[in-house]
Amino acid sequence: MKQDKTGAEIVLQSLVDQGVEVIFGYPGGAVLPIYDTLFKQNSIKHVLVRQEGGAIHAAEGYARSTGKIGVVLVTSGPGATNVVTGLTDAMMDSIPIVCITGQVPQHLIGSDAFQECDTTGITRPCTKHNYLVKDPNKLSPVIHEAFTIAENGRPGPVLIDIPKDVQFANGHYTKKEQIIIPSHRLFEPKIFKNDEKINQVVDLISKAKKPIFYIGGGCINSGPKASELVSQFVEMTGAPATMTLMGLGVLGSSHTNSLGMLGMHGMYEANMAMNECDVMINIGARFDDRVTGRLDAFSPNSKKIHIDIDESNINKTIKVDVPVVGDVKSVLTKIIKTWRDKKLKTKQSDIKLWWDKINNWKKIDCLHFTNNQKEIKPQYAVQRLYELTKNKKTFITTEVGQHQMWAAQFYKFEKPNRWLTSGGLGTMGYGFPAAIGAQVANPDALVIDIAGDASILMNIQEMSTAVQYRLPVKIFILNNEYMGMVRQWQELLHGGRYSESYTDSLPDFVKLAESYKAVGLRAKKPEDLDKVINEMINTDKTVIADIWVSKEENCFPMIQSGSAHNEMVLSKDQKQDEVSAEKGKILV
């Protein structure tokens, strides 16, 4: 066995063989050998972030916008602990990431050495799998396995911790093709078991009077073809379809069968239809608590079909009638074939009655807001942003909070992979670095981070990164000088006591942008808005657009915690009874 490469060279060779084009990272003592090797090659580009947390969100943005695996390289100790939030975020939202961390040399492990931490111990619960590699000969098998695990089955983050002495030591490189991964370490679809299930699925759907599709992020993970198949099958049945926050874009917003987003801040008609349906077809969603509301009142009269690649999601919170464990693309292919072979149809008269009912709910106009001439309504700002960017290849990322929900409600997505948001973990500070990652992957696209004034400050240091790599990322801040969602909950559930939710001493965002040699713009009045948006779009540089919006606007409609789908609070009816306030307080 030839031992002709150093550990660091093996790492780079493995990444090249895996087709890696970009690494997001930050150097430090324990990864210097890898950075040295990186310096000597030209096939992989490295994007230097300004804090490791930025690197992993950028890798997530890269991964989500392309369907490829995002790669991160950071040092030991604080480098590793800084990526923990991003790893957890990727775990919750099923984003494929390979994260390489340096570790102190093996003889120092356990001695509380400088910049030492138990990286594999700390990251065990927030990765799909992780490794500490002690032998340079095992580096390439481990890295190749890590890439496979990251995207196999339900995707997620995988971490590889490499002690510095292993990076220096000589070892043997094993090619990707020579690695055999035992089957128990991977997801195996149980197709043979599913055949009968698929018959049950099509049977249930064909007999449904009030069916609804409930579409999640799993459809996006399954690739663009999966989204096409979902749209196709939705059309074949004529049934309405609603999407989760993570599933936006699977079915185009303008699709006649789309009811838009469901859940806590979802569409009234989508939630009502979920509540009243008789057959629910969950494709790649996981009955998240933000979607279900009160569990015992969740869609009480429906038969539920659940298609999910992760068996542990089946019957986790909601008991389902027909579970199908598998990848959306392959399961939908089978379903469509079976549907055609059996010449099945839904009963048009029933479906029409169902749509009549839904169209009645639509008349409520749940996203209604009262525009005014004096101040910019945040909803209006997103509406205008959509109108002025809809004809471009646009990627939208968000931070977390009110602005995120307004973006989800008012920006219309027609394609998958164009909407990047932190759904499961709800990580403030995600959007800007994710936009950087998306822009690196899509240099010609328009990438906009719809942000809040509080969230953007959580990773504002990445301005340096964006400017250094000439990434024309746009930051569109809905600035209300509050942590808006915190303030909204305090208003609705805590008697209007705005404890620590006012963001005092905000920077002047225009000057902030300028200090990074980026462009700063500001809109204070509705009449400034279009001009600022157009200028932002037409500037070929990193831009911060500081949009001053109404300070105390609430995000509606809303299912308050502990309520059911048919108990939505609408903007016109902002009253709430004290009992539900008391009860809601304990929930998140």
Q: Which is nearer to other proteins, 317 or 359 (CB)?
A: 317
Closest CA to 215 of 200, 229, 205: 229
Q: What one-character-per-residue DSSP string does 382-450 give?
A: HHHHHHHHTTS-EEEEE-SSHHHHHHHHHSPP-STTSEE---SS--TT-HHHHHHHHHHH-TTSEEEEE
Q: Which is nearer to other proteins, 145 or 453 (CB)?
A: 145
Q: Which stretch binds other proteins (CB under 8 A): 37-45, 236-244, 306-314, 339-347?
A: 306-314
Site size for other proteins, by CB under 8 A? 29
Q: What one-character-per-residue DSSP string does 487-509 give?
A: HHHHHHHSTT--TT-B--S---H
Of 3, 45, 114, 319, the catalytic one is 114
Told to judge if 207 belongs to the known catalytic residues of this protein, a careful annotator would answer: no
- Cα(157)–Cα(429) distance, rounded to whole angstroms? 19
User: Cβ distance 277 to 302 under 8 Å?
Assistant: yes
By CB under 8 A, tell whether 561 contacts other proteins.
yes
By CB under 8 A, tell whether 312 contacts other proteins.
yes
Among 184, 363, 374, 497, binds other proteins (CB under 8 A): 184
**3 state SS of 11:** helix
Q: Which stretch binds other proteins (CB under 8 A): 96-104, 273-281, 313-321, 435-443?
A: 313-321
Q: Which is nearer to other proteins, 53 or 156 (CB)?
A: 156
CB of 326 to other proteins, least distance (A): 15
Q: Which is nearer to other proteins, 120 or 221 (CB)?
A: 120
Told to judge if 428 belongs to the known catalytic residues of this protein, a careful annotator would answer: no
Of 485, 536, 558, 568, the catalytic one is 485
CB of 294 to other proteins, least distance (A): 5
CB of 561 to other proteins, least distance (A): 7
x/- mask, other proteins, residues 100-139, rule CB under 8 A, reads --------------------xx--xx--xxx-x-------
CB of 3 to other proteins, least distance (A): 23
Closest CA to 579 of 558, 564, 554, 562: 562
Of 5, 128, 138, 164, the catalytic one is 164
Told to judge if 164 belongs to the known catalytic residues of this protein, a careful annotator would answer: yes
- Cα(90)–Cα(85) distance, rounded to whole angstroms? 9
Among 185, 337, 393, 511, binds other proteins (CB under 8 A): 185
By CB under 8 A, tell whether 587 contacts other proteins.
yes
Q: What one-character-per-residue DSSP string does 54-85 give?
A: HHHHHHHHHHHHHSS-EEEEE-STHHHHHTHH
Of 106, 115, 461, 576, the catalytic one is 115
Burial class of 307 by CB neighbour count within 10 A (0 to 12, 13 to 18, 19+): buried
Q: Which is nearer to other proteins, 426 or 562 (CB)?
A: 562
Cα Rg of the chain, angstroms: 25
By CB under 8 A, tell whether 294 contacts other proteins.
yes
CB of 70 to other proteins, least distance (A): 19
Give whole-number Cα distances, 139 to 12, 181, 263, 445, in Å: 10, 14, 44, 36
Q: Which is nearer to other proteins, 32 or 297 (CB)?
A: 297
Question: The tokens 């004096």 sit on which residue?
Answer: 374
Among 17, 36, 289, 375, binds other proteins (CB under 8 A): 289
> Cα 475 vs. chain centroid, distance in angstroms?
18
By CB under 8 A, tell whether 197 contacts other proteins.
no
Phi, psi of 195 (to 5 degrees): -50, -45
By CB under 8 A, tell whether 304 contacts other proteins.
no
Told to judge if 412 belongs to the known catalytic residues of this protein, a careful annotator would answer: no
Q: Which stretch binds other proteins (CB under 8 A): 77-85, 197-205, 291-299, 366-374?
A: 291-299
Among 310, 491, 528, 530, binds other proteins (CB under 8 A): 310
Closest CA to 217 of 111, 90, 128: 90
Closest CA to 432 of 454, 411, 405, 410: 454
Beta-strand relationship, 5-6 and 170-171 = antiparallel
- Cα(384)–Cα(343) distance, rounded to whole angstroms? 45
Q: Which is nearer to other proteins, 228 or 289 (CB)?
A: 289
Among 41, 43, 178, 315, binds other proteins (CB under 8 A): 315
Restricting to residues 143-162, name those near other proteins by CB under 8 A.
149
- Those residues with Cβ within 8 angstroms of residue 9's Cβ, 6 or more apart along the chain or in another chain: 37, 173
CA geometry: angle at 223 spanning 404 and 22, to 5°?
75
Told to judge if 369 belongs to the known catalytic residues of this protein, a careful annotator would answer: no
Q: Which stretch binds other proteins (CB under 8 A): 55-63, 90-98, 285-293, 434-442?
A: 285-293
Q: Which stretch binds other proteins (CB under 8 A): 35-43, 314-322, 328-336, 387-395?
A: 314-322
The encoded tokens of residue 582 equal: 């008391």
CB of 260 to other proteins, least distance (A): 23
Active-site residue set: 52, 114-115, 164, 485
Residues in contact with other proteins by the rule CB under 8 A? 120-121, 124-125, 128-130, 132, 149, 184-185, 289, 292-296, 310-312, 314-317, 561-562, 586-588
